[in-house]
Chains A and B, each alone.
Chain A
Amino acid sequence: MADPSERAAGDAAGRGDVAADLEPALGRINEVLLSIAAGRFDARAERDYSGDPLDVLAFLVNASAEEVARLVEALRHEREELSRAQQQLVQSAKLAALGQLAGGVAHELNQPLTVIRTLAQLIPEHAEARVADHVADLELIGKAAERMGHIVDSVRTFARQSSFKRRRIEPALPLADALELLGEQIKQHGIDLDLTVAPELPLLLGDAERLEQVFVNLLANARDALDALPADAPRNIRIAVEQDGAHIRYTVEDSGGGILPEHAAQIFEPFFTTKALGRGTGLGLSVSQGIVAEHGGELCCGSAPTGGARFTVRIPIRSDESEA
């Protein structure tokens, strides 16, 4: 009978042999797993189809790689679908906003049109006059036509469907574009607008057209909130653009009735609206929040000192990132 200590030493040596045998195969499987971890899902462990434990391990590794590849592909496909759906939602909300702006835009076009029409009627009444006598009138017509062209361009740019594309822009640019569309309307509604842009703001990496949509939504909401006030109530919209550390902060606040506490939690939900039927789609704020999130920023609501609503948009400056 063998000495127990000799037997133990023999067993240990046996285990050592087995480990030594397994080492190369486990090393190969390890390499395959590292390749898979690095995203090379076509890596496969070699199999001998014997059904022994190493072969089973190789099958499990290969099947895992296949399934991970399939799931990654499915995820990529779903992300593309989601992105397409978001793009369509942004465009739908934009067109809905444009529909609501149409009345104001028509009114704005009507002003220069009236100038053109009036002068066009007056000029033939002085048929004997030389063209040089009408230079001032013709200049007015030219300016009116230019203004109309500008309005049409603003509408066209706003309505255009475009993919998310960031460029270096002046932070005030999207706001200025939104005011191009809504500024005149805001005046017509008897609203005082106070715009403060801090000097020497750094350029912002952003999509001007998408951000314009955000400000069109915020300004249209402010205008509607102020329309609901009694006739003699003060109507103010205060806009500030300033740097806040690594962000540009836009603040849009109004002197309206403010956001009711029970609405605050739902205000960014799609299709939530407090406006009358036909006045709002309930998409504006949810789409705006999505656009701001696309920029890596945040859109928050709160109360202005006047008790009205205050919306704050914070967009990271990202001066070190390349344009996308």
Chain B
Amino acid sequence: MAGFDPGELRCVGGTAAGAYYELAPDIVVAVPRKGYVQSEPDARASLEEFARIVRERGRRAALIVLLDDVRSQDAGSRRVWAEEADPALFCGLALVCGSALARAIASFFMGLNRPRVSLRMFPDLPAAETWARGMVEEHGGPL
């Protein structure tokens, strides 16, 4: 989401692609850096970082990704998400898409390369957070 201000949120991890913040218990929000273009190694690094955060806490989490600052994602990185995202670590994956480009990127991600985790697209962060809370309530808990 363009101009997202993490404010008092606690940073729980990060990669060259951006940072991860704790939005609420068992809800992590990924904030890519502005103009980010995701490649296959980047996607793998992002997934590994999320796995590290979740394993460190010992509890499944919902991940919200703010896609508005992402400028592109190639087929290799879509495949990494589809094949390597471990469903045991995720309560759900929410994509926040406020722009046409973000919606286009998310559409390819969700259509032909759907990861094996519960996945939804949202127009804004509050809607994504509400869904994520429900997913945590339903599927959250220790690993």
A residues within 8 Å of B by Cβ? Answer: 47, 49, 51, 53, 55-56, 59-60, 62-63, 66-67, 69-71
Cα-based distance from A66 to B77 in the complex (angstroms):
11
- Chain A residue with Cβ nearest B111: A67
A49 in complex: contacting residue of B72, B74, B104, CB < 8 Å: B72
Interface residues of B in 72-90 (CB under 8 A from A): 72-75, 79
- Chain B residue with Cβ nearest A62: B72
Check A56–B104 contact: CB distance below 8 A. yes
B residues within 8 Å of A by Cβ? Answer: 35, 37, 71-75, 79, 99-101, 104-105, 108, 112-113
Q: List 10 A-B contacts (CB under 8 A).
A: A53-B100, A59-B72, A59-B101, A59-B104, A59-B105, A60-B104, A62-B72, A63-B104, A67-B75, A67-B113
Minimal beta-carbon separation of A103 from chain B (angstroms): 52
Check B101–A63 contact: CB distance below 8 A. no
Given A49-B35, A59-B105, also A70-B100 (CB < 8 A): no
Given A49-B35, A51-B99, also A66-B104 (CB < 8 A): no
Minimal beta-carbon separation of B3 from chain A (angstroms): 14
Check B112–A51 contact: CB distance below 8 A. no
Within 8 Å CB of A55, what residues of B? 101
Check B74–A51 contact: CB distance below 8 A. no
Cα-based distance from A312 to B104 in the complex (angstroms):
55
Check A63–B35 contact: CB distance below 8 A. no
- Chain A residue with Cβ nearest B72: A59
Check B75–A66 contact: CB distance below 8 A. yes
Cα-based distance from A16 to B133 in the complex (angstroms):
49
Within 8 Å CB of A47, what residues of B? 72
Cα-based distance from A63 to B75 in the complex (angstroms):
7
A56 in complex: contacting residue of B74, B75, B79, B101, CB < 8 Å: B101
- Contacts A49-B37, A49-B71, A66-B74 aside, 17 further interface pairs with beta carbons under 8 A come to A47-B72, A51-B99, A51-B101, A53-B100, A56-B100, A56-B101, A56-B104, A59-B101, A63-B73, A63-B75, A63-B104, A66-B75, A67-B75, A67-B108, A67-B113, A69-B75, A70-B79
